[in-house]
Amino acid sequence: MMHGLAHDEARDALGALALDALDASERAAVLAHVADCGSCRDELSALRETAAKLTYVVEPVPMPDDQRDRVRARLLARAASEPKPKPIPAAPAQAHAPQLRILEPSHVPLNATPRDTPVPPPVVLRPTVVPLNAALVAAQRMEARARWMAAAAIVVAVGSVWALINTREERDEMRVQLQVASVEGRADGRVLDSLRAGITARERFIANLTGPQVAVVTLASGTPRAASARMFWDQSVNAWTFVAHNLPQPRNGRAYQLWLVTASTKISAGTFTPDGAGDAVVRANYALPKGDLAAVAVTDEPARGSPQPTTVPVLVGSTKGR
């Protein structure tokens, strides 16, 4: 049994590992070391990049026509036979009508239509965008601040992707304020309640991003500034928190729309526009069976939102193969 491979020994084998040229037992031992060694990990990722560039030496060799067409036809047939996102089917499917709820404070189902009543126009969660990136709070602004924090629990646009850190700081700050206000007895009950609500909302936000049952879907894009996003799905409470970074501003009259994609439907989780720095956070509550999420996508839509996506996604993250 090889164990505890020395750093030097492992490092010398990283080039061969990147070329996939290690024997199985040595490969396992080196990988075990790499798992615990940051410098070897960095080195390996650089060497893997180098190895990937070796593919540049290959020149195209056309396949024989019959072979090319055969493979293409098989691939498309395989893909077509897979369950996959499809346009929404007609009315009967409403039996499984998604129930998208505003997270806070109302908990009103937006789409809780009984089956036999006329179907309402499609509902799109259109949350308000509230700046979260506040400066230090002056005492006299405390009440107002505490009030918008409850709203911020629905959708917040943040000044940086480090929404979580901001949120932690703000929660801690509010805790201090709450203590000070209670001890000195100078704030009225409403203010204290608002502060408590703000703290609770923030704690929930933090839990939704870091809890033990949070599934994370990373979304990628091809935009020049390399927009990216993560969806945090807290499966214990069906809370969805979407954090996007580097999104270009949509054109006038347009907004981004967030979609939860399953095999049979695309569920709107709201429209949003990023702040000046290209960042946005969107939150929604929606109960989805664990295996049902196929992808999370963002499309460019009219500002009022669309019932179904009408453009190619600017961001998408799939759960396939996970």
Partner 1 sequence: MNPLSPDSPYPLSSAAAPSPRGDADRAPDDASLLRMMALGDEQAMGALYDRWHSLVHAIVLRMIRQRDAVEDVVEETFWQAWRQAGRYETARGSVQTWLLTMARSRALDRMRAMKRLREEPIEGEQGEVVVQQVADGDPGMDAEAAERRTFVLAALAELPEEQRAALELGYFGGLSQSEIAERTGLPLGTIKTRMRLAMQKLRGRLQVLREEVQ
Binding site for Zn ion (CB under 5 A): 7, 37, 40
Angle, helices 142-152/189-210, rounded to nearest 10 degrees: 40
Q: List the one residue from 2, 28, 39, 50 that touches partner 1 (CB under 8 A).
A: 50
Which tokens is 52 given? 């990937």
- CA 285 to CA 103: how far, in whole Å? 5
Q: How far is the CB of 1 from partner 1 (least distance, A)?
A: 19
Q: How far is the CB of 256 from partner 1 (least distance, A)?
A: 10
- Chosen from partner 1, Zn ion, none, partner binding at 53 (C-beta under 5 to 8 Å by type): partner 1
Give Cα 182 distance to the centre of its chain.
38
Site for partner 1 in 227-266 (CB under 8 A): 228, 261, 265
Q: How far is the CB of 249 from partner 1 (least distance, A)?
A: 13
- Chosen from Zn ion, partner 1, none, partner binding at 37 (C-beta under 5 to 8 Å by type): Zn ion
Site membership for partner 1, residue 108 (CB under 8 A): no
Do residues 13 and 33 make contact, with C-beta atoms less than 8 angstroms apart? no
Site membership for partner 1, residue 84 (CB under 8 A): yes
Nearer to partner 1, 149 or 217 (CB): 217
State phi, psi for 20 to the nearest 5 degrees: 60, 35
- CA 144 to CA 33: how far, in whole Å? 54
Site membership for partner 1, residue 276 (CB under 8 A): no
Give Cα 145 distance to the centre of its chain.
27
Question: Terminus-to-terminus CA distance in the chain, angstroms?
Answer: 31
- CA 304 to CA 291: how far, in whole Å? 30
Q: List the one residue from 1, 6, 35, 90 that touches partner 1 (CB under 8 A).
A: 90
Do residues 319 and 293 make contact, with C-beta atoms less than 8 angstroms apart? yes
The footprint of partner 1 on this chain (CB under 8 A) covers a number of residues equal to: 86
Nearer to partner 1, 48 or 168 (CB): 48
Q: How far is the CB of 30 from Zn ion (least distance, A)?
A: 9
Site membership for partner 1, residue 212 (CB under 8 A): no
- CA 132 to CA 281: how far, in whole Å? 10
Site membership for partner 1, residue 304 (CB under 8 A): no
